[in-house]
Structure 1
Amino acid sequence: MERRQFLATGSGATALTLAASAGLAPAHAQTAPAWNKLAFDSKSMAEAAKALGATGAPVESKDLILQAPEIAENGSVVRVGAQSKIAGTTQLALVVEKNPNALAAVFDIPEGTDPNVSTNLKMGQSSNVYALAKVGDKFFYAVKEVKVTLGGCGG
C-alpha cells in the first residue's frame, strides 16, 4: 500500500469513527426533514412562497424588517438580515429576485425564539431582495433594492 492511499483510507475511517461516536449514523440522516428542492429551484419570490406552503399571495408588512445595503461593492459577499415583529413567526426566508435560484436561505424559527436572522448572500447583479416571513398559514414580505457594483456569480 502506498503512503497516499494509506492516508486517504485512514482519514476516511477516522472520520467514520468520529461520526459514529458522536451519534451520527445514516439512520439519523434518513429521519431528518426533507430538503425542499422545489423551493430552492424557484425563480421568483411568488414561486418560493408557494413552494414553502403559501396558499395566497404574500402581503407586504412594515413589521418585517429587512437589513441589506443599498450598494454592495462585491456581490459575492452581501450581508442581509431579517427581523420579524409579527407574533407567531415560524419561518424566515431570504429571496434574491435576479439570482438563478431566487430562494437564498430559509430559517425555521423555534417557538419562543426571537425571529432575527442574518447571513451572507451571493448576488450576481443588482436586484430586489425580499425577506419572507411565515406566520401560521400566511406569508408576509419586505423588499429592498440592492445595487451590486461587482457581480458575485461569475460577473
Structure 2
Amino acid sequence: MQTRRETLKQSAVVAGLLASAGFPQFAQAAFNKTAFDAKTVQDAVKAAGGGAVAESKDVTITGPDIAENGAVVPLGVSTSLSGVKQLLILVEKNPSTLVALFHVSDAVDANFSTRAKMGQSSDVYAVAIMADGKALYAKKEVKVTLGGCGG
C-alpha cells in the first residue's frame, strides 16, 4: 500500500515527465501544490479554481459518524450533477485541509472514495467545483476517538 507522500511524489514525477514531453496542461492538472498546502476550506477551494462555497443537496459526503482510528478514516464524495470539473474532500481541522482532489468529466461517474488521516474530530467537506467556477458542498461531522496524526 502506498503512502500519501509516495503518491504525491509519484504525481510530481509524472507531472514533470508530461511537462517535458510538451503537455504542460496535464502537468498542471496532476498536482496542485497550492490547494494541498491550503490551511482553510475556502483557501483550498479557491486554489482549486472554485469561488465562494454554497451548500447543495446534489453533493454527497460519506464517512463514519465515529472513527475508531483517526489514522484510516474512510471518506467518499459523489454527485450526479453534470458540468463538474473537480471533486474535493477536505478535513477542516487537519493541518492541511485538502485530503483528495479528483478531476472529473461528464464521461466519468463522479463517485470516489479514499482513506484520510484525521488528528481530531472535525467537519469533513465534499466540494464539487463546476465548469463555471461555482463551488457546491456537503459537510458531515466525523468524531475521532483515537488520533491519527501522531496521536
TM-score by length of 2: 0.81
Answer yes or no: is 1:57 the counterpart of 2:57.
no
Distance in 2 (alpha carbons) for counterparts of 1:52 and 1:91: 8
1:6 aligns to what?
none
Q: Percent identity at matched positions?
A: 51
What is the count of residue pairs matched by the alignment? 130
2:83 aligns to what?
88
Query: Aligned to 1:33, which of 16, 27, 33?
Result: 27
How many angstroms does 1:134 deviate by? 1.0
Secondary structure (helix, strand or coil) at the match of 1:80 reads: strand
1:108 aligns to what?
103
* Structure 1 residue ranges (4+ consecutive) displaced by more than 3 angstroms after TM superposition: 26-32
**Pair 103,27 (structure 1): closer, same or farther in 2 beyond 3 Å:** closer
Q: Which has the larger radius of gyration?
A: 1
1:150 aligns to what?
146
Secondary structure (helix, strand or coil) at the match of 2:18 reads: helix
**What RMSD over aligned residues (CA atoms) do the two structures have, in Å?**
1.5
Secondary structure (helix, strand or coil) at the match of 1:114 reads: coil
Secondary structure (helix, strand or coil) at the match of 2:44 reads: helix
1:68 aligns to what?
63
2:120 aligns to what?
125
Structure 2 counterpart of 1:85, one-letter code: S
Unmatched 5+ residue regions in structure 1? 1-23
Distance in 2 (alpha carbons) for counterparts of 1:43 and 1:102: 6
